Amino acid sequence: MSPIERIVCVWLPDWPVVADGSNPDGSRATAVVAGGKVVACSAAARALGVRRGMRLRQATGRAPGLQLLERDVEGETRCLEPVLQYLEQHVAPRWEVIRPGLLVLPARGPARYFGGEQILADRITEAVAAVGFAARVGMADTVFAAALAARQGRIVPAGRTAQFLAPYPVGVLGRPELAVLLSRMGLPTLGSFAVLPGSKVAARFGADGSTAHRTARGLEARGLSTRAPGQDLTVAHDFEPAGTLLEPVAFAAKELARRLHERLASAGAVCARIEVALELAGADAHTGGKRLTRLWRHEGKLSELAVAERVRWQLTAWQEAGALTDAGGAAAGITQLALRPEALSAATGRQELLFGTRSATAEMEAAAARLQAMLGHDAVTRVETGGGRGPAEQAIRVAFGDVPPENRLPEGPWPGRLPAPYPAWVPARPERARLLDAGGEPVAVSARLVLSAPPALLVVKGCRPAAVQGWAGPWPALEQWWNADRARRLVRMQVVTEAGPAWLLVLEQSQWWAEAHYG
């Protein structure tokens, strides 16, 4: 019988907050947000009741002075690269990145080398501390259990993973619908789910339920590799001549992802992780170049966008760390990009996900690809948070499968930007409006941002006149002041009416417009 595999997991607490660098000691209440929810927060924010997964309105209600930061996964990856390089130099090579701030590695070899699992854990903690960060280390028989153990800084004894997982709620499986169903059936914990017969779980919940059941039992969710001996599914792109620009490499990653998916589908397999490998040209033709590699665990079905983003994150991280240089310190030419799938298993229609819900289903991606083939690449779009001051500028459409343009990223500075929470409805064009005082006269705003009179009545084109109950503002916004022909001076106000929704109004050249409402 083969020995039980052991996994070591390194968790860097609050990594999105730490990587931002604006709150180094964690003394300020800070939260990193994405998709309108908190994805990480500082210890000071947690002390005020802020929790991961909260909506912004709830989080700011608990902590009125909460500092909000837009998530920057690329920046998190860049900040993580020195940690990975130090671990590879002083502990062991080939660390796998589940996400920035969460790393795993097979533990058996390193533990034997250093003299035990506890010594290995201490060595890892010291290595991360040497780079300037705090870390917690966990070990267990599976990646899933090791990640949970890392939250506690715990080493789960070999063969005891199922007992360790048993008290956890089924919600940690990252399958909300399954968790709700199991709870209704009286199976609220992983232990209660794990005792069910595997055959009955498969009959009731299908392949995806069986995968979750294996996870709850303390077994690796994937079976043995299906790759035939000698079968190589690696895809690569050669750059001739060698180049130093990263944009062509990131663009090539999308095509490589498509080819890799086709090869996996032909082999009837899926993969748990991808190795990104970059070949660099040497100083001369005789010495040769160097090879950079990094392992990324991917979530769900392999998508072109997900791979392109991870390659871009990794490229910028290598560049920031000075890895894309030759022996003389000059920028080294990139000669090849390769993607190699690892941890292959038989395709069952759906693939499991580690800690989180799926971002896109296979059916949606396939449908989008078919529509793009018929109507053109730009015909299918998704909405992303963009940079800008007004609500219409803060939501941009990006072609499905593309990375958002860097010149429209939400990171600032955007002086005069509308703060959160954002409006629920933004018309294609602002509607003409009138904001009147108690005497029926238009409300004006002086150069010093003083209202001519308190607002009393709001009239928006297409809506009934409504009495004003309250307002906030006005706030100025000076756009493109450096261009005399395109400069705009705007004033915005938020107005609440008796009719219900709050409106966002903008005043330009003495005319009020209804720019959006909060539904």
129 near 135, Cβ under 8 Å? yes
Cis ω on the peptide bond leading into residue 100 (within 30° of 0)? no
CATH 3.30.310, applies to 167-217:
no
Q: From start to end of 370-465, where are the E strands?
A: 381-385, 395-399, 431-436, 457-460
| b/e sequence 117-147, b meaning 16+ C-beta within 10 Å | beebbebbbebbeeeebebbbbbbbbbbbbb
Distance separating alpha carbons of residues 375 and 370, to the nearest angstrom: 9
Nearest to 76 by CA among 100, 97, 94: 100
- pLDDT tens digits along 292-316: 988 887 655 556 677 777 888 888 8
Q: What count of residues does the chain have?
A: 519
> So what's the pLDDT on residue 377?
61
Six-digit token string for 414: 């955007």
- Strands 235-243 and 381-385, by their bridges, are unpaired
Residues of the chain with CATH 1.10.150: 167-217
Cα–Cα distance for residue pair 478/429, rounded to 1 Å: 20
Q: In the numeric block, which tokens belong to residue 475? A: 């706030």
Which residues of the chain does CATH 3.40.1170.60 include?
A: 7-152
Which regions of the chain carry the CATH code 3.30.1490.100?
235-346
pTM of the model: 0.62
Distance CA 496, CA 458 (A): 9
Pinpoint the alpha helices (H) of 268-329. Answer: 304-320
Strands 96-99 and 291-297, by their bridges, are parallel
The second-level CATH assignment, the architecture, of 235-346 is: 2-Layer Sandwich (3.30)
| Residue ranges in the chain modelled with pLDDT below 50 | 1-2, 223-230, 283-287, 350-360
Q: State which fold the 7-152 domain adopts.
A: MutS, DNA mismatch repair protein, domain I (3.40.1170)
Q: Where are the alpha helices (DSSP H) in 223-294?
A: 247-267
| Pairwise CA distance, residues 373 & 391, whole Å | 32
Is the bond leading into 167 cis (omega within 30 degrees of zero)? no
Closest listed residue to residue 55, CA positions, set 72, 73, 39? 39
Q: Is residue 479 within 8 Å of 487, Cβ to Cβ?
A: yes
